[in-house]
Amino acid sequence: MMTTREQLVPSSKLTLNGAAEAVPPYAWFGVSAVFHYLGPSFAVLLFPAVGVLGVAWFRIASAALIFAPFTKPWRTIREADAKTRLLLVGLGTCLAAMNTAFYLALDRLPMSLVAAMEFVGTIGVALYGLRTRRNALALLLAMLGVFIMIDLKGSTDALGLLWASLNGALFVGYIVLGHKAAEDGANGGVERLGAAMAIAFVILMPIGFSEAARAFGAINLVLAGIAVGLCSSVIPYIADQLAMSRLPRQTFALCLAILPATATVIAAIVLAQIPSLQDILGVALVIAGVAVHSPPKASEG
């Protein structure tokens, strides 16, 4: 027997909400953590052939194209109220700028360093929701691990560090706006994400299209660019929405500490960027911090 809510809402609309409820949110976060750097590691391999801004364009353009049929961004934007439209524009602008800064940083710095700096900005988000000594210890461990991995003395590329810092700041914006988009469930969050991705595509069109156009004559490069978008901005961002719809913002922010660890492992496998003992120590401390962290009770979220 269908409930009243199920009778009013088509089954396709319940799919993402059902998936978010059926699977532990940390599992969805794990999917996001893997693909968050698997896609970019493939993107780095495309930089020589397509260009940094060209790859950024392919990432956003292919993601917008994949999202469009099932999220219907034109309808979401048309039916949204003024406050929601402002959220969509903010998230779309953040996605366009964040992904561009991220790739410009990756062009100059090791992925593990960019990932570690990406997490620094989220420390403040995690600190905002800090309530127990156990979580204070968890945050301290994670921070120590990240700063061990950053080792700014080991990098003299000031421009690369600037792009990585900008990416880290924008990543905080993505967490805040992404959580806002997921407030009424995973389905609504993904629909808003699709609309924001379409807006990001419009913003990035004049910036990266000329470089991306160089690849249009090679089908293998076009397919590789689409694969980057699927792995970087479709699978992980949907997984983020499924996790964000269940996890408090501060808990999600602290869990992001595992990203430097996944980035280090993936960079070693795909890009042959072998971690040092210092990197391994940093990864171990980050994982320890995530393991020690205790999520808030429902009444605290």
Q: Is the pLDDT of residue 138 over 80?
A: no
| DSSP letter for each residue of 164-200 | HHHHHHHHHHHHHHHHHHTTT-HHHHHHHHHHHHHHH
Q: Is the pLDDT of residue 2 over 50?
A: no
Structure confidence at residue 31 as a pLDDT band (50, 70, 90): confident
**Averaged over 188-192, what is the pLDDT?**
88
**Averaged over 141-166, what is the pLDDT?**
76
Q: Which residues contact 95 (CB under 8 A, 6 or more apart)?
A: 60, 174, 196, 197, 200, 233
Least confident of 7-16, 69-78, 268-277: 7-16
Q: Is the pLDDT of residue 260 over 90?
A: no
pLDDT of residue 137: 80
Q: Is the pLDDT of residue 99 over 60?
A: yes
Pick 47 or 137 by higher pLDDT: 47
Dihedral sign for Cα 191, 86, 25, 170, please.
Answer: positive
Express the helix, strand and coil content of the chain in percent, nearest 5 each: 85, 0, 15
In this structure, what token pair is assigned to residue 86? 């402002």
To the nearest 10 degrees (0 to 180), the angle between helices 52-71 and 25-50 is 140
Percent over 90 (pLDDT), the chain:
31
Q: Which residues contact 222 (CB under 8 A, 6 or more apart)?
A: 58, 215, 216
pLDDT of residue 9: 42
Kindly state the DSSP code that residue 300 receives in the 8-state scheme.
Answer: T
H/E run at residue 233: none
Nearest to 181 by CA among 71, 103, 296, 26: 71
Nearest to 195 by CA among 67, 65, 73: 73
| DSSP letter for each residue of 54-66 | HHHHHHHHHHHHH
